[in-house]
Structure 1
């Protein structure tokens, strides 16, 4: 920050701060958090919208030597409760001006007041009262110590937590900067949730801080939000998931905005169709850099100087020379190059375990430390092409949803007998969430009279604390589920 103190560091709809302003605000934030009791080693759940205040909060928590526990704004109270107990975390930082969803979360976790301190931040005017508080010294933290807990979409009903150390995460950020073209003076648009691993580190917010690029926070990735910000701020780089890119490509009013400042769009979180990838350069004039990775570790990029065929038809190359790749069959035997198989990986920034999850670790890692990603890929001449998923997980627009988590919520409805949730193909989102619901006997003759309509069930799921992105898109009220030959529910048949 000393290298460019007067340059613009970050902007949102409320404020613009220079690097010098940001440094001072992080000190003020650290004073407020310390005044609330946050100290070395404490877990701090952060559930804030995209904003300058988010950036200040994260760096303030690190300055105190505490541990951010990242949460998405869309997470419900069930996930927040899990994070608090599992991390564990004694503090919860959120917005003082919540939308309807976050207001419900705040109400639903109010009973945690005895064990979790809630700290609400006004994004327009944060850290009031800091002037009367002492500014704490920066904590001395070894580089191999736990830096934060990141999120992974899981199949166990709640998101798994990924422990990242300072050294392995900064290695990932620096390696990303080397293979991308983000540099000092550039302008990064943060349109996806800021606490996503993709948004934080590929090269993301931390990459921008490293090189001195300005950060512009968007409220969401919708074209009506993104296009005006690109034109106003001269954005040079942005990261999108495939549905957001497709929405932008298809937006009828796009030509009214000057988007010529953009050099590179990073697209990841889910596989981008080749048809959409081919439209980026001709229609937008931007360089597409596909990103395939996971919060657990391995990150791949299509090289900026790759052929157009490699850019549109593969998901990139491992960014580090120390990334190890194996593609194996279901017996962990390596398959010939060019044949599809299960992706295993090991490397300097790939985790060795999940946080406090021994059973999950036993099935997610091989004895020699390779992580089982759950992806089916083809590895050919150094490039990875994603074919599909082996794990029972729904990828809805880049958000990973465990069917069990949705099923468990719907099963708490007093007239629901059974639920089966699957992902079904969707041209925009990649997959939509489809729930099949069997009513209890007393409601079977007239489900609607007992509140079993798709609209009412979706409302029930939201109010029960389910993440907004995990609420089923489609709900079918059925009398029975299709079964396999051994009597198990045939989710394949339900997927069509």
Structure 2
């Protein structure tokens, strides 16, 4: 027996949560099978080409498991999943859980550098991607033909997610699901110094978070959930998300993305009752000039998270859309907070909610880890039954990210008064671009490999729609052949495998960086100021 479970919990801590009944021995495969048996003929999953009942989905999951088994995936294997929103995504994930394999969730925006890191660090044996890659995903898939640093090459499985029958093969379809305390999947955390960290979740801890989310939300059987954000996001998966819909037997409708033109027709056609958005997507919807042409009266609740929603935008939701707003503040590592559905308007529009579980522990501390008085801004630390206590295979990061008592250092600056959290800012050097976390150092390291670049400083710059954009200030190298062009640097960054959301939105060619009064580079000044005559961006 190892000293800890994959999520870092000691065996004593795990037993404590079992005695409380919050870890109840459930698994993702059991969750799926219960709903199949309870609602076999109810609609389960819909995308642009298919609509399946729960019984039909159970059959296609079994066929997917046969395909993945023939590709060599076995119980305990790690498989990177990089698929667009589709029914095929759902089939792939549950097929892996049927086999007892471990999905490594990646976003369609992740680049080859990220995917190769996941493959080496998980470690993964397989990559499951779309048979219809865009230019970005085409580069990723081409790069995976190269061996990894340890000499291995991933086995690639391409799924025709636009086909009516993407799983044509029959044959053996093993049912060897993992145990409740075993690793269920690896999720991704935005990092401050490089590629994302891997977050280990067990069946027991993660499914408790799903049940707790369902308890404080109004998602029920016969409801219709629209999945517009990337399906593999923690927010989209569990708050209450896709797995919440599976738990209650609601229908999951997949949208290709969160643009108004992508989601408004689907809301009207499928009588959507719930959807989750990041603030930029909500603001785009509020400002969309042709919104009134669509019947949106079926929607009861919109969940908004991933970044802080401005109070001004929050106040517009009920009057302009007629929907309940439930703010969600959480992290893939664990703690999730919701504004209660029955909260007064002031709490809904101006705070980020209350911890969803009575077993969530929250500390707000100063720089010396001393608790601050209620209402005083401080660093948020948290511990509880669904908050991990270690990252996957990252001892040095774990030493910085967790206290000796198992509290996770979130990097958020908050106030906490009468059980209500309000986000004030971030302590970490991290850019939150529309809910996607970008590590400035990772972007800098890529641009610094360009032969014409002398130095780079990457910062977040305020943006009304995204919250922050990625801005790079680049000092050219003396004697470089030809002038540096921002558009060429962007192409270079993409070609080096940088995630598409991390490619700088703005690149300014400068002679020097702003400095503080003590001579240090001032990233604050860089984020707020721009040269009077900025070059091509």
**TM bracket, shorter-chain basis:** over 0.9
Report how far residue 54 of structure 1 moved.
0.2
Report how far residue 455 of structure 1 moved.
1.2
Find the partner of 1:480 among 489, 512, 518: 512
> Aligned pair 1:51/2:86, yes or no?
yes
Give the secondary structure class of the aligned counterpart of 1:13: coil
Deviations 1:42-61 (A, max 9, x none): 01000000000000000000
Residue of structure 2 equivalent to 1:60: 95
Give the secondary structure class of the aligned counterpart of 1:417: strand
Residue of structure 1 equivalent to 2:173: 135
- CA distance in structure 2 between the partners assigned to 1:43 and 1:257 by the alignment: 43
Q: Which runs of no fewer than 5 residues in structure 1 stay unpaired?
A: none
Residue of structure 1 equivalent to 2:274: 237
Find the partner of 1:190 among 220, 223, 227: 227
- CA distance in structure 2 between the partners assigned to 1:77 and 1:105 by the alignment: 5
Give the secondary structure class of the aligned counterpart of 1:244: helix
Structure 2 counterparts to residues 244-255 of structure 1, below 5 A: 244-255=281-292
Structure 2 counterparts to residues 48-447 of structure 1, below 5 A: 48-112=83-147, 114-125=152-163, 126-131=165-170, 133-136=171-174, 138-443=175-480
Residue of structure 1 equivalent to 2:497: 465
- CA distance in structure 2 between the partners assigned to 1:140 and 1:457 by the alignment: 46
Give the secondary structure class of the aligned counterpart of 1:368: coil
What is the number of residues matched between the two proteins? 489
Q: Which runs of no fewer than 5 residues in structure 2 stay unpaired?
A: 1-35, 529-537
Deviations 1:53-110 (A, max 9, x none): 0000000001111100000000000000000000000100000111111111111221
Q: 1:140 to 1:240 in 2, by over 3 A?
A: closer
- CA distance in structure 2 between the partners assigned to 1:412 and 1:109 by the alignment: 21
Deviations 1:16-39 (A, max 9, x none): 111011000110000000001100
Report how far residue 454 of structure 1 moved.
1.4
Report how far residue 427 of structure 1 moved.
1.1
Residue of structure 2 equivalent to 1:31: 66
> Aligned pair 1:41/2:79, yes or no?
no
- CA distance in structure 2 between the partners assigned to 1:286 and 1:127 by the alignment: 36
- CA distance in structure 2 between the partners assigned to 1:75 and 1:202 by the alignment: 22
- CA distance in structure 2 between the partners assigned to 1:128 and 1:259 by the alignment: 35
Report how far residue 129 of structure 1 moved.
4.1
- CA distance in structure 2 between the partners assigned to 1:372 and 1:486 by the alignment: 29
Deviations 1:210-240 (A, max 9, x none): 1000000000000000100000000000000
Deviations 1:412-468 (A, max 9, x none): 11111111000111111111111000110013xxx8x34x11111111111211111
Residue of structure 1 equivalent to 2:11: none
Give the secondary structure class of the aligned counterpart of 1:72: coil
- CA distance in structure 1 between the partners assigned to 2:450 and 2:288 by the alignment: 39
Deviations 1:375-427 (A, max 9, x none): 00010111000000000000000000000111111111111111100011111
Q: 1:477 to 1:182 in 2, by over 3 A?
A: same
**Equivalent residues of 2:188, 2:198 under 8 A apart:** yes
Report how far residue 482 of structure 1 moved.
2.3
- CA distance in structure 1 between the partners assigned to 2:486 and 2:187 by the alignment: 33
Q: Give TM-score scaled by structure 1 length.
A: 0.97
Q: Give TM-score scaled by structure 2 length.
A: 0.90
- CA distance in structure 2 between the partners assigned to 1:21 and 1:459 by the alignment: 43
